[in-house]
Amino acid sequence: MDPTNANLLSFLQSTGTIAPPQAVEIAAHFTPRTLEKHQFLLQAGRISDDYLFLDHGLLRAFVHDPDGNDVTTGFYTGGQVVFEVASFFNRPPARESIQALTDCAGWGLSFQQLNALFHARSEFREFGRGVLVGGFAALKDRMLAAITEPAAARYEHLIRAHPEIAQHAPLKHIASYLSTTDTSLSRIRKGPAKK
């Protein structure tokens, strides 16, 4: 794959801090990454060392609750960056696992490579800050939606924003992500067809 991949370049320019020539230079530091379906990008108990721009595919982050139930904490689709923030930056073992639900391809940096770029390129440092702020805002929106919106509205928003999740993620993973049951989500999915 060519390190000047158009999707990676668009991502690097998405916050407005990196000009096109700088994006090409920074993209050259990323290496191609592929994951086969079911392969882990990160397993709980290990330190996150991968910063991945996902070009295409679908990944899922999950944890196990005290009863051993598998709970989905996030989905990642093409055009998003995938990494476990707390483990990656603070270096404790991750509490989440991240696994491919489909074959995936993207562009990656290690922790050391990302930090070297942060120190060497102020525009990349500003870009990284913008990505983290965007991620934090999205997390806050999701938390507030879980309190203020019914599961049906949260499901509609998720599927509108990322239709590939409905196509490739098992119902049980979507249900746990939305904090609802498989049965309730099944009813929600059938609802619009009856209108």
Predicted local distance difference test score (pLDDT) of residue 3: 43
Sheet holding 40-42, edge to edge: 40-42, 97-100, 58-64, 70-77
94: DSSP letter = P
Predicted local distance difference test score (pLDDT) of residue 193: 47
Domain 6-148 - what CATH class? mainly beta
Where does 59-162 have alpha helices with state H?
A: 85-90, 111-120, 122-148, 151-161
According to DSSP, the β-strands at 50-56 and 40-42 are unpaired
How much is the pTM? Answer: 0.86
pLDDT tens digit at each of 195 positions of the chain: 354 488 999 999 998 899 999 999 999 999 999 999 999 999 999 999 999 999 999 999 999 999 999 999 999 999 999 999 999 999 999 999 999 999 999 999 999 999 999 999 999 999 999 988 988 898 898 889 888 998 899 999 999 999 999 899 999 999 999 988 888 888 888 875 444
According to DSSP, the β-strands at 58-64 and 97-100 are antiparallel
Question: Tokens 């929600």, residue?
Answer: 188
User: What is the rounded CA–CA span in Å between residue 173 and residue 47?
Assistant: 24
Where does 3-121 have alpha helices with state H?
A: 6-12, 20-27, 85-90, 111-120
Predicted local distance difference test score (pLDDT) of residue 95: 95
Predicted local distance difference test score (pLDDT) of residue 194: 43
pLDDT in tens, 114-152: 999 999 999 999 999 998 898 889 889 888 988 899 889
